[in-house]
Amino acid sequence: MEQIIQVTILGIGLGGVFALMGSGLSLVFGVMRIVNLAHPSLIIAGAFTAYWGFRLWGIDPLVMLSVATLLLAAIGVLLYKIFFERNAKSATYSEMTVLLTFAIAMIVEGALGAMFSNTQRVTSPSYATDAFFLGDIFIPKGQLYAGMVSMLIIGLLAAFLKYSRLGYAIRATTQNRDAAALLGVNVNMVGLMSFAIGIGLAGAAGALTSFVFSFFPAKHWEWIAVLMSLVVMGGMGSIMGTVVASFALSIVAAFVGAYVGSTWSTMTFFLALFLVLLFRPQGLFGEKPELL
């Protein structure tokens, strides 16, 4: 029984981190129909921001999270203006963004490598390798803190989308871009803001992952498939679906790792992606998923 509880805790811990990593990806797709393959590379950029804040000035990555969020949101604005805005009305916009964001991912990787070298990094606050022990059961502090902050941010995002005027506009644009525009919503501005928020979430996720996982510029290739499986399983564009999928798959993967073998734990995500695409391609949260 202890082992089951322990594995569940580890799965939840991992799920909390993945939830934030996937949420920005889901938001950007939900509103803009952008399949952002560059999202994990921007998470790495956020991780580097937190790393250097910690390395140079000893600033805790949980504090650097706000810096990483704002910095990446600003980068998001630039990326949107330069690459996405002019093509937003194209009939093949989503398909086009796959190639475009793939190229951006490679550019971001190259830029990070040029600036910071390809050396592996990890932020090492004292809690990153510490744990709360309850008898034989432990709760890793790093994952616990990262998961709690992740849930807090997603909660704030949900409240923002549900109760703010901009949130209404974002949800309206997600449901029907043309109808929202007819009703006076500035869909270009909504797109810009959504993209900036989505990329800002990548920055926040980067700060949190900086002490949970080690990273280097090329690490994003390992994350994109996992994140896509979470977003697809949750229903492309559904933040809540992404959160549910993150916890569900992480817990299942933890049990697979503990009872079947580590080789198969990563396979869990890909198997889920395969099964969802085969039997329920719209994801867990319906034909036309809502953001929340």
Assess 155 for contact with other proteins (CB under 8 A).
no
Assess 102 for contact with other proteins (CB under 8 A).
no
Q: How far is the CB of 142 from other proteins (least distance, A)?
A: 7
Assess 214 for contact with other proteins (CB under 8 A).
yes
Is the CA virtual torsion 289, 157, 221, 257 positive or negative?
negative
Q: How far is the CB of 210 from other proteins (least distance, A)?
A: 11
Assess 129 for contact with other proteins (CB under 8 A).
yes
CA distances from 78 to 66, 74, 81, 101, 116 (A): 19, 7, 5, 14, 21
Contacts of 230 (CB under 8 A, 6+ apart): 18, 19, 22, 242, 245, 246, 249, 269
Total residues contacting other proteins by CB under 8 A comes to 45
What the block records as the tokens of 100 is 């475009």
Give exposure, 75-113, as e/b (b: 16+ Cβ within 10 Å): bbbebbeebbeeebeeeebeebbeebbeebbbebbeebe
Q: Which is nearer to other proteins, 77 or 258 (CB)?
A: 258
Q: Which is nearer to other proteins, 143 or 238 (CB)?
A: 143
Q: How far is the CB of 199 from other proteins (least distance, A)?
A: 22
What residues line the site for other proteins (CB under 8 A)? Answer: 3, 6-7, 10, 13-14, 109-110, 113, 117-122, 124, 128-131, 133, 138, 140, 142-143, 213-214, 216-218, 221-223, 225-226, 253-254, 257-258, 261-263, 265-267
